[in-house]
Amino acid sequence: MELQPINTPPRRRELPVIQKLVAAYKLWHTFFPTVLKTARHTLGAKIDFLFVELLELLFTASYSSKERKTLILQNAKNKLDLLKFFSQILWEIKALDNKKYILISEK
């Protein structure tokens, strides 16, 4: 029996805001293992969870009715504010270095 080559799935057409957030999450994902161990399983895990929640909310909003979309986007805004807040604290306690904080903040 001959094995068939594995095809990659077609690229999804996502909203630019989702694409930008995915790029930021990919960058965070490379930084996460370097976060100081004392903060990795607390603030680091919270930030990781907020990224995933935010991606889920934006994806859901992109397929929701106008009425429902407004509530979902408000919730997403709150999650983004929390993500920024906890990221800043992570940097302030020096669990994330300056260069990485600047890179993730620019995304």
pTM: 0.84
The DSSP string of 79-101 is HHHHHHHHHHHHHHTTSS-HHHH
Q: What is the mean pLDDT of the chain?
A: 91
Using an 8 Å Cβ cutoff, are 81 and 50 in contact? no
Is the model's pLDDT at 12 over the cut of 70? no
**Mean pLDDT score, 35-58:** 97
Residue type, 39: A
Is the model's pLDDT at 18 over the cut of 60? yes
What is the structure's pLDDT at 107? 81
Name the DSSP letter for residue 34.
Answer: G
Distance CA 82, CA 76 (A): 10
Compute and round to an integer the Cα radius of gyration of the chain. Answer: 17
Summarised one tens digit per residue, pLDDT across range 56-103 is 999 999 999 999 999 999 999 999 999 999 999 999 999 999 999 999
